[in-house]
Amino acid sequence: PPLNSLLNLDEIEAAAKTQISKKCWAYYFSAADDLISKSYNNTVYRNMLLRPRVFVDVSLADTTTTLLGQYKVGTPLYVSPAAMARLAHPDGEAGIARGISRFGAMQIVSHNASMTPEQIVAEAKPGQIFGWQLYVQQDRTKSEAMLARIAKLNDKYKCIVLTLDAPVPSKREHDEKAALETQLLIEASRSEDEQKKAGKRPDSNSGVGQQLFFGTAADLTWSTTLPWLVKHTDLPIVLKGIQTHEDVYLAAQYARKHPGSIKAVILSNHGGRSLDTAPPAVHTLLEVRKYCPEVFDMIEIWVDGGIRRGTDVVKALCLGAKAVGVGRAALWGLGAGGWKGVDRAFEILQGEIQTCMRMIGAKDIAELGPRFINSRMVERD
Ligand code: FNR
């Protein structure tokens, strides 16, 4: 279907499904175990009600904001790091960059991207900003080499996003099944002779996601990993996959003691792909509001997971998020129509954000606050 006939992110996902391989669909769609966190990530927004104010001049709905304390962006909406965009479309991660460019959105590039960090930013617009996501490798020299490479691109890459919520691979059954099916198909389509010639076959039927974990370290700590990282990058650090107020507090304390280190945390359960029944970002935001609200002035709190509508984004912003990420939405856009599909997905979301801001009576991002959310929701823990 033509992209402009797709009216919401669900329709973009459905269109992508008809364009991409079964294996790619399984990899993007899948989440851990029973997909409880994945679905709750979105339900939590659906169950939260807004409190619109009227008689407010909302002719402007200005979505510009500042990230990392200094970079002006056109929207608080950003692209979360997600591996292997080229599975969906040859435009890949560079296509995501092109697709979001007219919205002035930030893009965080995955450690397991399917293009090089240089290729991805090669045609970025002036002022377009990126982050680079790190999975620390068991062989630290490999990570150090990548950090040095990103440092050379520091006119584009403005932060290092260290992902912490996936110390080991999770169980993603859609993925495992799809990989197994693909392997069986390949085998079935080869003659016996060819199979012999092909020699070593993949010895595992685990999904693409699990294979990417090869070499990732499981021994990261506050006291060893952060000093190492600070030593090897001059860029601000963003900790991704924080899921409790205790850990947000620790990050804020670290930031206070070590100026120029941690600038933001991302409340995230990895789109439900890591630990099933882990909390959605909204729950952690509410915990932070209750137990350590002072941290909002110490570090930026970004969130991701489950975003399907502009109202979801606005609700997260009202509860104190500084930026809101989408993982699958960008990938589905790419699958539905390459860079133009990403552009369409962002056009839809950005339009919905502005409509929501106007409907609740908010002129700009700074005005968004808990007064726009049903108070019973804000007070619960
Ligand atoms: C991810 N995510 C992810 N996160 C990360 O830090 N490094 C990575 O390489 C990946 N890879 C990845 C692949 C795919 C296919 C998906 C869907 C997700 C997690 C991602 O950054 C983000 O936390 C979630 O995608 C947010 O949830 P939604 O927007 O997909 O619901």
Closest C-alpha to 323, from 145, 83, 178, 131: 131
Pocket of ligand 1 contains residue 83 by CB under 6 Å: yes
The mean of the pLDDT values for the chain is 92
The pLDDT score that the predictor gives to residue 176 is 84
Q: Which of 40, 135, 157, 254 is catalytic?
A: 135
C-beta contacts of 325-328 below 8 A and 24+ residues apart? 325/77, 325/78, 325/79, 325/80, 325/108, 325/266, 325/268, 326/77, 326/78, 326/79, 326/80, 327/79, 327/80, 327/81, 327/82, 327/271, 328/13, 328/28, 328/29, 328/82, 328/271
Expressed in angstroms and rounded, the spacing between residue 77 Cα and the centre of ligand 1 is 15
Atom nearest to 81 CA in ligand 1: 21
The angle that helices 328-360 and 9-19 make with each other, rounded to 10 degrees, is 170
89 as an active site residue: the answer is: no
The pLDDT score that the predictor gives to residue 348 is 98
pLDDT category of residue 215 using cuts at 50, 70 and 90? confident
Rounded Cα distance between 33 and 174, Å, is: 9
DSSP 65-127: EEETTTEEES-SEEEPP-S-GGGT-TTHHHHHHHHHGGGT--EEEPTT-SS-HHHHHTTPPTT
Expressed in angstroms and rounded, the spacing between residue 174 Cα and the centre of ligand 1 is 16
The pLDDT score that the predictor gives to residue 15 is 98
Pocket of ligand 1 contains residue 216 by CB under 6 Å: no
Q: Whose CA is nearest to atom 1 of ligand 1?
A: 82
The pLDDT score that the predictor gives to residue 178 is 83
pLDDT category of residue 206 using cuts at 50, 70 and 90? low
232 as an active site residue: the answer is: no
The pLDDT score that the predictor gives to residue 145 is 97
165 as an active site residue: the answer is: yes
Expressed in angstroms and rounded, the spacing between residue 129 Cα and the centre of ligand 1 is 19
Q: Beta 71-73 vs 65-67: how paired, if at all?
A: antiparallel
Q: Region 324-337: what's the mean pLDDT? A: 98
pLDDT at 334 over 70: yes
Q: Which of 270, 276, 312, 343 is catalytic?
A: 270
The pLDDT score that the predictor gives to residue 187 is 66
Pocket of ligand 1 contains residue 306 by CB under 6 Å: yes
Which residues does residue 73 pair with via DSSP β-bridges, in sequence order?
65
pLDDT at 62 over 70: yes
Q: Cβ distance 343 to 126 under 8 Å?
A: no
The pLDDT score that the predictor gives to residue 266 is 98
Pocket of ligand 1 contains residue 240 by CB under 6 Å: yes
What is residue 239's three-state secondary structure? strand
Pocket of ligand 1 contains residue 28 by CB under 6 Å: yes
Expressed in angstroms and rounded, the spacing between residue 199 Cα and the centre of ligand 1 is 34
Pocket of ligand 1 contains residue 37 by CB under 6 Å: no
pLDDT at 188 over 70: no
Closest C-alpha to 77, from 287, 257, 329: 329
* Range scoring the smallest mean pLDDT among 46-60, 204-218, 282-296: 204-218
Q: Region 258-281: what's the mean pLDDT? A: 97
Note the pLDDT tens digit of each residue in 31-61: 999 999 999 999 999 999 999 999 999 999 9
The pLDDT score that the predictor gives to residue 204 is 45
Note the pLDDT tens digit of each residue in 118-162: 999 999 999 999 999 999 999 999 999 999 999 999 999 999 999
The pLDDT score that the predictor gives to residue 203 is 43
Q: Which tokens is 192 given?
A: 């016996």
pLDDT category of residue 205 using cuts at 50, 70 and 90? very low
The pLDDT score that the predictor gives to residue 181 is 73
Expressed in angstroms and rounded, the spacing between residue 328 Cα and the centre of ligand 1 is 7
| Residue carrying the six token digits 């965009």 | 85
Q: Which tokens is 113 given?
A: 């991207």
Rounded Cα distance between 52 and 361, Å, is: 6
Rounded Cα distance between 130 and 132, Å, is: 7
- State the complex-level ipTM: 0.99
Pocket of ligand 1 contains residue 128 by CB under 6 Å: no
Mutate to test the pocket of ligand 1, among 273, 284, 302, 309 (most ligand atoms within 8 A of CB): 273
Mutate to test the pocket of ligand 1, among 270, 324, 332 (most ligand atoms within 8 A of CB): 270
Note the pLDDT tens digit of each residue in 10-30: 999 999 999 999 999 999 999
Mutate to test the pocket of ligand 1, among 41, 80, 132 (most ligand atoms within 8 A of CB): 80
Atom nearest to 270 CA in ligand 1: 23
Expressed in angstroms and rounded, the spacing between residue 5 Cα and the centre of ligand 1 is 27
pLDDT category of residue 202 using cuts at 50, 70 and 90? very low
Residues 6+ apart with CB under 8 A from 345: 9, 12, 99, 326, 329, 330, 332, 333, 336
pLDDT category of residue 177 using cuts at 50, 70 and 90? confident
